[in-house]
Amino acid sequence: MNDFSNSVSTGFNSFMGFLPTLLGAIALLVVAWIVAILVRKAAQKGLKAVGFGRLLTKWGLTNSDEQADSTIDSIGKVLYYLVWLIFLPGILGMLGLNAIATPITNMLNSVLAFIPKLFAAAVILAIGVFVGRFVKNLVYNLLVTVNIDKWISKMTSSSSEAEEAAPTQSEKMTIAKVLANVVYVIILVPIITVALETLQVRSISEPIIMVLNQVLAAIPNIIVAVILVAVGVVLAKFVGDLITGLLQGTGINKLNKYLKSDGKMTIDLAKILGQIVEVVLIVFFVVEALNVLNLEVLNTIGKAVIAYLPLVLSALIILGIGLIGGSLLGNFITKSTGSRMSGEIVKYILIVMAVFMGLNQLQFATSIVNVAFLLILGGLSVAFAISFGIGGREFAKHQLARLEAKMEKEDKKK
């Protein structure tokens, strides 16, 4: 009985000793709850009072006032739970739960140590965005003042095409916008690099900084490549127009009559050839611009395009010769024999041969193209033989009889 009394007395004394600590933890819990509620309401009402919701909508972070208010409420809730997180280690420590309180305390210390870095990075980024937008607007207004789109349009298209393709009000100053955005990105890239370095989170910042440094190092090459392409487009347009004018002077468009499928169709051969030369020159300049970028994949693509270009040009020449030659030979046979069908047959046979030769020159499924050509040629031969053997049997019999009679007549004369 004495042992039981002693144990009860010891437990009661322990509880009475722990009671102040428990009351202190409960009091701290109540304080944390009151402070969290006050911080949440103060943040929500304060942000709404200063018009923070309108700023969120203006910055494009929200689409409506209701969404802005919901975002502000979410910020208040985040602060509410953050206050609880600050008080939680103290409450757990008073209850003797240090094993749980210590990790939370360490996490809070890391977060609090990171907040100044985050704030500094945000300030740097905000200043960079402000400066970048200022310079962007400055460049845009300067380009609008000199009306760069008009000059680019004049250099890359003829006057009639420029009038037909006049931009609408919403499409004006496209080149100005593009160049202004390029300047904005050029300014923003180093600012983002500095902001990430300020965070000092190597696992995140180092890969991104490495990529941004590569982009920053590539910017001069990109500018040179863009200038090279722009010069190439202007030069190609000039040479193409020059060749078109020279060919028009030679009367090459007189060959149109051999390419017309009906009386309404008109083909400007001089313009087509000039545009082909223009495209070829642009391709050369684009490939050279890709080489300037020093990107292995793009260089490989450029070399493949240049290597394939002669095959394309030779295929176009073969096809052109087949079209014109087929038309000429078809017209000659039509006039000589008086049979329009014979002329059309010869014409389309030559055109089909030119198409197959062009495909073979392009190395486009060479084996399939060759087999298809042989099958078509063999089919036509068999069809001709069958049609002559069945439908032309009487004609052949009559011709052979005439030949036999003529031979007998010559033998009698002898």
Q: Please give the pLDDT value at position 293.
A: 79
pTM of the model: 0.49
Q: Which residues contact 91 (CB under 8 A, 6 or more apart)?
A: 25, 28, 29, 32
Confidence of residue 169 (pLDDT cuts 50, 70, 90): very low
Q: Please give the pLDDT value at position 160.
A: 46
Q: What is the CA radius of gyration of the chain?
A: 43
Q: Which residues contact 105 (CB under 8 A, 6 or more apart)?
A: 89
Confidence of residue 304 (pLDDT cuts 50, 70, 90): confident
pLDDT for residue 391 is more than 60: no
**Cβ atoms of residues 354 and 321 within 8 Å:** yes
The structure tokens 């002898």 sit at 414
Q: Please give the pLDDT value at position 38.
A: 92
Helix (H) or strand (E) holding 8: helix 2-49
Q: Please give the pLDDT value at position 157.
A: 59
Q: Is 166 left (phi over 0), alpha (psi -120 to 50) or beta?
A: beta
pLDDT for residue 187 is more than 70: yes
pLDDT for residue 171 is more than 60: no
The structure tokens 């009906």 sit at 262
Q: What is the mean pLDDT of the segment spanning 45-68?
A: 80
**Cβ atoms of residues 95 and 25 within 8 Å:** yes
| Lowest mean pLDDT segment, chosen from 16-30, 109-123, 217-231 | 16-30
Distance CA 114, CA 42 (A): 25
Q: Which residues contact 118 (CB under 8 A, 6 or more apart)?
A: 199
Confidence of residue 162 (pLDDT cuts 50, 70, 90): very low
The structure tokens 């000059």 sit at 151
Distance CA 377, CA 393 (A): 23
pLDDT for residue 262 is more than 50: no
pLDDT for residue 264 is more than 60: no
pLDDT for residue 252 is more than 60: yes
Q: Which residues contact 275 (CB under 8 A, 6 or more apart)?
A: 240, 244
CA-angle at 44, arms to 43 and 47, nearest 5°? 75
Helix (H) or strand (E) holding 92: helix 65-94
Q: What is the DSSP string of 53-74?
A: HHHHHHTTS-SSHHHHHHHHHH
Q: How far is CA 245 from CA 40, 73, 238, 239, 269, in A?
A: 77, 70, 11, 10, 11
Distance CA 137, CA 131 (A): 10
Distance CA 114, CA 373 (A): 74
Q: Which two tokens stand for residue 315?
A: 């295929």
Per-residue model confidence as pLDDT tens digits over 57-73 = 776 677 888 888 888 88
Confidence of residue 156 (pLDDT cuts 50, 70, 90): low
Per-residue model confidence as pLDDT tens digits over 278-288 = 888 888 888 88
Q: Please give the pLDDT value at position 154.
A: 66
Mean pLDDT of the chain: 75
pLDDT for residue 11 is more than 70: no
Q: What is the mean pLDDT of the segment spanning 151-179?
A: 57
Give a three-class secondary structure readout of 358-409.
HHHHCCCCHHHHHHHHHHHHHHHHHHHHHHHHHHCHHHHHHHHHHHHHHHHH
pLDDT for residue 260 is more than 60: no
